Amino acid sequence: MLGDYLPILMFASLVLLIFSGLPVAVVLGGISLLFAALGLLLGEIRFVHLPLLVNRIFSGVVSNVVMVAVPMFVVMGTLLEKSGVAEDLLAGLQTLMRRVPGGLALGVTIMGTVLAASTGIIGASVAMLTMLALPMMLQRGYAPKLATGTIAASGTLGILIPPSIMLVIMGDLLTVSVGKLFMAALLPGLLLSVLYMAYIASVSCFRSGMAPASEKPLSAGERALLLHQLAKGFLPPAALIFLVLGSILAGWATPTEAAGVGALGALVLALARGRLSLSGLGQALEQSLTTVAMIFFIFVGATAFSYLFRRFGGEELVLSFVDSSAMGAWTVLGALMVMVFLLGFFFDWIEITLIVLPIFAPILALLDFAGHVDSRDVVYWFAILVALNLQTSFLTPPFGFALFYLKGTAGERVGLGDIYRGIVPFVLVQLIALVVVLAFPEVALWLPKVAFD
């Protein structure tokens, strides 16, 4: 009967219509409406089921204590950005590392790590790094492909390194502890950052044409300026980020509490630096709300979609498919990974986590990696793998998300060809990190285990 195929049809029409370029939330809602009508006609659902959708949306989007962390992290990131710490930070790092081969590129990676820890928003980090660092690097004679590769890769660190908004949302969808997820993400994130730097350093040493170091020694005045820049640009945000992350990782505050206090801290920082007027604050708040609304509006659509998908028996369909195919746990994991990777070409993490996770999360419970990963920890391991995977996918030509942002912000200064060539080594580094976490789950699971057990 047609009724049995409703979940498949739903998914197919989503795949098709999402390319219409209409807002994803609207596409999700429209499809839900269409299939609700169809389901009523075919007797697959009854009218009383529909008002329940509102309850779902209310409890998922509004009365959800975990999600309160999301707007607060966004406010914190926006205010930090407005306070102009990023410029000071880069200027300081540039002077500090002027004698080191590839010093500026290393500075960008460090900054990407700091930005990642503070905002976790890809488009913003990449655009900001491009604007601040690209002209400087090109002017100093860096090869365009090294410059762009460094920027795109460093700017995407944010989805993995806590406090990542994606991890908050994943934690909620998979109903696991966000604090524990943050902890699981910390070492893999730092591992990536270190691997990036190792690559940059070795390239700069062996092929000095790609990253020339400055020969000029520092004068005493410049030295004083440097210390001043570092103290002003590096210490305050570093202290704030350390405070926010530290209190979550130490189990002293929930992510929501830490995020709220972090937002206040960023506000104080911005005010102290004299960079924020009242109207500027209003702007920053509205801008934050726009970001938050964008994330949660997809939530509203996705809730409707996955509610109907389940009502139509989509979940059983997916599970029975996995069951009947008699695939091993590793094959299923591999298939999910390939799927997430491919989706990452076209979609941002928001759509992927909000649409794909609710549909495929039940499969996770079936997976048995006995001897490799403890069954309680599979969810955490999986979440980190997805995050790493997405990050790779954002960087992969020709459709990498981060690459588009970079090209869009850089304009004519660099060619798409340079960007594509430049990112390849970083994608390889990503793959190494992914394989490391696949092969040695302890990289992700050790820290939460030590902290919680």
Partner 1 sequence: MLALAERLALPVRLAHRVGGWLLLVLALVIGYDVVGRKFFDTGSVVLQDLEWHLHGAALLLGFGGAYLKDAHVRVDLLRERLGMRTKARMEVFGILVFMIPYLAILAFFAVEFAVRAYLSGEGSVAGGGLPQRWIIKSFLPLGLVLVVLSALSVLLKCLHYLRDGADISGPFGSRSKSRMTSNRNDLSSESCSTSLKERAESRNQVGPPDCDLL
Element (H, E) at 369: none
Q: Alpha-carbon distance 331 to 363, whole Å?
A: 12
**Options 39, 78, 197, 248; binder of partner 1; rule CB under 8 A:** 78
58 binds partner 1 (CB under 8 A): yes
- Contacts with 160 (C-beta within 8 Å, 6 or more apart), sequence order: 116, 185, 188, 189, 192, 384, 387, 388, 391
Residue 243 found at the interface with partner 1 (CB under 8 A): no
- Asked whether 38 and 4 are in contact (CB, 8 A), the reply is no
Binding mask 309-348 for partner 1 (x = CB under 8 A): -------------------------------------xxx
Applying CB under 8 A, which part among 104-112, 218-226, 286-294, 321-329 lies near partner 1? Answer: 286-294
Minimum CB–partner distance for residue 350 and partner 1 (Å): 6
Specify the stretch interacting with partner 1 by CB under 8 A; choose among 51-59, 193-201, 319-327, 379-387.
Answer: 51-59
**With binding defined as CB under 8 A, does residue 29 bind partner 1?**
yes
Using the contact rule CB under 8 A, the part of the chain among 114-122, 224-232, 312-320, 386-394 near partner 1 is 114-122
Cα within 13 Å of Cα(236), Cβ side: 23
Q: Tell me which amino acid residue 246 is.
A: G
**23 sits near partner 1 (criterion: CB under 8 A):** yes
Please select the residue that binds partner 1; options are 43, 51, 274, 371, rule is CB under 8 A: 51
CA distance 350 to 144: 30
CA–CA distances in Å: residue 237 to residues 75, 77, 117, 452: 14, 10, 10, 27
Q: Interface residues for partner 1 in 374-403 (CB under 8 A)?
A: 399
Q: How many CB atoms lie within 10 A of CB 253?
A: 19
Name the segment binding partner 1 (CB under 8 A); options: 94-102, 119-127, 182-190, 210-218. Answer: 119-127
Residue 213 touches partner 1, criterion: CB under 8 A: no
Q: Which is nearer to partner 1, 117 or 187 (CB)?
A: 117
- Rounded Cα gap, residues 435 and 452, in angstroms: 26
Residue 409 found at the interface with partner 1 (CB under 8 A): yes
Q: Measured from the CB atom, is 101 or 262 closer to partner 1?
A: 262
Under the criterion CB under 8 A, does residue 21 sit at the interface with partner 1?
yes
Q: Which stretch binds partner 1 (CB under 8 A): 3-11, 179-187, 251-259, 377-385?
A: 251-259
The answer to whether 77 touches 69, Cβ cutoff 8 Å, is: no
For residue 448, which of 64, 236, 254, 178 has the smallest C-alpha distance? Answer: 178
Cβ 114 to partner 1, closest distance in Å? Answer: 15
User: Which listed residue (178, 195, 292, 423) binds partner 1 by CB under 8 A?
Assistant: 292
Contact pick of 42, 131, 136, 335 for partner 1 (by CB under 8 A): 131
- Class of residue 396 by CB neighbours under 10 A (exposed 0-12, middle 13-18, buried 19+): buried
In Å, how far are 159, 360, 439 from 116, measured between CA atoms? Answer: 7, 27, 25
Out of 35, 142, 196, 297, the only residue in the binding site for partner 1 (CB under 8 A) is 297
Cβ pair 103, 97 in contact under 8 A:
yes
Measure the CA angle with vertex 308, ends 68 and 290; round to 5°: 35
- Determine if 259 is a binding residue for partner 1 (CB under 8 A): yes
Among 44, 315, 351, 418, binds partner 1 (CB under 8 A): 351
Closest distance to partner 1 from the beta carbon of 376 (Å) = 28
- Cβ-based neighbours of 155, under 8 Å, separated by 6 or more: 112, 115, 122, 125, 126, 127, 128, 129, 130, 402, 405, 406
Nearer to partner 1, 117 or 210 (CB): 117
Task: Report the largest interatomic distance among the alpha carbons of the chain, rounded to a whole angstrom.
Answer: 82
List 65, 220, 326, 370, residue binding partner 1 (CB under 8 A): 65
Q: How far apart, in whole angstroms, are the C-alpha atoms of residue 174 and residue 357?
A: 8
Select from 403, 397, 385, 401 the least CA-distant residue to 339.
385
Q: Binder to partner 1 among 38, 72, 378, 427 (CB under 8 A)?
A: 72
53 near partner 1 (CB under 8 A): yes
**417: contact with partner 1 by CB under 8 A:** no
If binding is defined by CB under 8 A, does position 24 make contact with partner 1?
Answer: yes
54 binds partner 1 (CB under 8 A): yes
Is residue 214 near partner 1 by the rule CB under 8 A?
no
Residues 430-449 that bind partner 1 (CB under 8 A): none
Establish if 282 lies at the interface with partner 1 (CB under 8 A). yes
Q: Which is nearer to partner 1, 65 or 326 (CB)?
A: 65
